[in-house]
Amino acid sequence: QLQLQESGPGLVKPSETLSLTCTVSGGSVSNTNYYWGWIRQPPGKGLEWIGSIYYNGNTYYNPSLKSRVTMSVDTSKNQFSLKLSSVTAADTAVYYCARHLGGIFSGPNYWGQGTLVTVSS
């Protein structure tokens, strides 16, 4: 059974860079059939897609976050990662990693449990 687990600091200072890693078990990030993505949810609000990455490093980013987002994949560790720079309080959210049903045009189906990241000094 595919499982995804987010990890990273739960508290980040304003203007710093948020860094999260998603560890995949029961499957491989090298599988050519799937994209892997990040979605976030501010407290009490809706879902926002951050971006998605393919095993070869091909990425799609949310245009509203593109200037601050970097995603990468580490096939040797079966992980993929998210970096969001110059964070503000508005970036406080639960961050989910997920696997798409297939290519980029198919939605996420497997989700991690999510990790709360708070931006505060």
Partner 1 sequence: QSVLTQPPSASGTPGQRVTISCSGSSSNIGSNYGYWYQQVPGTAPKLLIYRNNERPSGVPDRFSGSKSGTSASLAISGLRSEDEADYYCAGWDDSLSGWVFGGGTKLTVL
Site for partner 1 in 55-74 (CB under 8 A): 60-63
25 binds partner 1 (CB under 8 A): no
80 binds partner 1 (CB under 8 A): no
Q: Which stretch binds partner 1 (CB under 8 A): 17-25, 40-48, 74-82, 83-91?
A: 40-48
Strands, E, within the chain: which ranges? Answer: 3-7, 11-12, 18-25, 36-41, 48-53, 59-61, 69-74, 79-84, 93-100, 108-111, 115-119
Q: Which is nearer to partner 1, 16 or 48 (CB)?
A: 48
CA nearest neighbour of 4 among 117, 92, 116, 108: 108
99 binds partner 1 (CB under 8 A): no
CA nearest neighbour of 51 among 91, 93, 96: 96
Chain residues binding partner 1 by CB under 8 A are 37, 39, 46-49, 51-52, 60-63, 96, 101, 104-109, 111-114
